Amino acid sequence: MSPYEDYLAFSDRVSKLVIDGGVPERLLRAADQIREERSSGVSEAHVLRNCPVDEDLPEIGNEDPSAEKKSRKVTFIGEGFLELLAQITRTPLLSYANRFGGDFFIDVVAINKYLGQQTGYNGGEVVFHNDRTAHPVRADYITLLGMRCPPDDLVYTGFVAGRRLLAELSPETQQVLREPYFVTPFDVVSRDANTELDSTPSHPILSGVSSLRYLDTHTTAAGDAPVEAKDALLALKNALTRVPKQRHRMQQGDVLTFANQSALHNREQIEIQDSTRALGRWLLKTYAFSDRAAADAHRDAWIDGIPGKVGD
């Protein structure tokens, strides 16, 4: 059963596995620990290793990897594991109706037309950011599964928890960052998918306890913002340079699951042995809400009545 043809039926099949007790106890304990550490603030990023990945992965190229995958991939082990993990951590998946066909499972693979641009599909490094920075509906959590990762390349995903970043900022600076003095342009992939996207409204960088809306080198002070907004933005950039960071080198079968809104993440290429082979690096990615209540809060954005599929 393909999750790209009938996601709800696919999700129900995984749910039956959970209900019937077919999930290893060790994995259930790991999911419990992830939930507890997120809730208590102990950690917002977790790694699982030796997770199941499809044995026979097709070559999907860099012209239109998503379309190639759908035409050539005949097993869905990776997708099933990510769906299972979302269910047992109680974080419902979400997708965007006009992004990659509304799929709930996204391929993080270099795409030729985006090479060298500021997007996760650029085949290179990516600055610290939240996914979908400029959009009204943003995932609480992102999960990555290593499908094909060149073993000799040193490519790291960096992570900074919002609470650690705020510890580097004065209360006065934090207060300025809570004001709608800042703007972030829509990413190039979103603009290609929705030509109606134009300018973005001014927004605060900081909200709630430690929720961030920030894309490094792209989020700027609005033209009519007071001078203290520029000072606060510079203080944030300096803090991002100083703050201790976590880094993980994704390998095949690794799962990295981390906070999106209350953290920042990036991609660093430390050493690439073969630049052509590196373009074939393939991670499978999901977006998720923090819980069912968070998903229901966006019910008015659901498309075609499908839970978790929202407008762009």
Query: Per-block average pLDDT, block size 10, for the chain (312 residues)?
Result: 94 96 96 97 96 94 95 96 98 91 95 91 95 91 97 97 97 98 88 72 95 96 96 98 96 98 97 94 97 89 81 72
**How far is Cα 293 from Cα 194, in angstroms, rounded to an integer?**
28
**How far is Cα 73 from Cα 146, in angstroms, rounded to an integer?**
16
pLDDT tens for residues 28-72?
999 999 999 999 999 999 999 999 999 999 999 999 999 999 999
**How far is Cα 79 from Cα 286, in angstroms, rounded to an integer?**
9
CA dihedral defined by 225, 229, 231, 234, rounded to 10 degrees? Answer: -110
| Greatest C-alpha distance within the chain | 60
User: What is the phi/psi pair of residue 55, to 5°?
Assistant: -70, -40
For residues 295 and 139, the answer to whether their CB atoms sit within 8 Å is: no
Q: Count Cβ atoms within 10 A of the Cβ of residue 131 and give its class: 0-12 exposed, 13-18 middle, 19 or more buried.
A: middle
For residues 54 and 73, the answer to whether their CB atoms sit within 8 Å is: yes
Confidence at residue 184, expressed as pLDDT on a 0 to 100 scale: 94
**How far is Cα 99 from Cα 268, in angstroms, rounded to an integer?**
25
Confidence at residue 164, expressed as pLDDT on a 0 to 100 scale: 96
Confidence at residue 199, expressed as pLDDT on a 0 to 100 scale: 67
Q: What is the pTM of this model?
A: 0.95
Confidence at residue 86, expressed as pLDDT on a 0 to 100 scale: 98
